[in-house]
Amino acid sequence: MTYQSTAHPAHTFSLTDTLRRAGAGLRRFFAGIGHGIMTGSTAHHRYEQVQRLQAKSDAELADLGLKRDEIVHHVFKDLYYI
C-alpha cells in the first residue's frame, strides 16, 4: 500500500519564505517598540510644556496670547480639533 502526500504544493514553504516572514515579524516588533518610545517621549515633552506654562503668571500668559484655561488646548492643538 502506498500513501499519497496530503500536503498541497501551495502549502509548502521554503526556508527562504519562512525567514522572510520571520524578518517581517521582527521588523514590525521593533517598529512597535520604536513607536512606543517616541509616543512616550512626545507625551512627556507635552506634559512638561503644560507645566511650564501653568507656572507662568496670568500677565505672562497674556503676553503670549494665552489664557490659563487655554493652555492644554494650545499644547495639544495639533492632536485634536475642537
CA distances to 21, 32, 38, 51, 56 from 28, rounded to whole Å, are: 11, 6, 15, 34, 42
pLDDT band at 76, cuts 50/70/90? Answer: confident
Residue 76: which of 36, 49, 41, 52 has the closest Cα?
49
Residue 12 or residue 45, greater confidence: 45
Residue 32 or residue 49, greater confidence: 49
**Residues 39-70: tens digit of each pLDDT:** 766 778 888 999 999 999 999 999 999 999 99
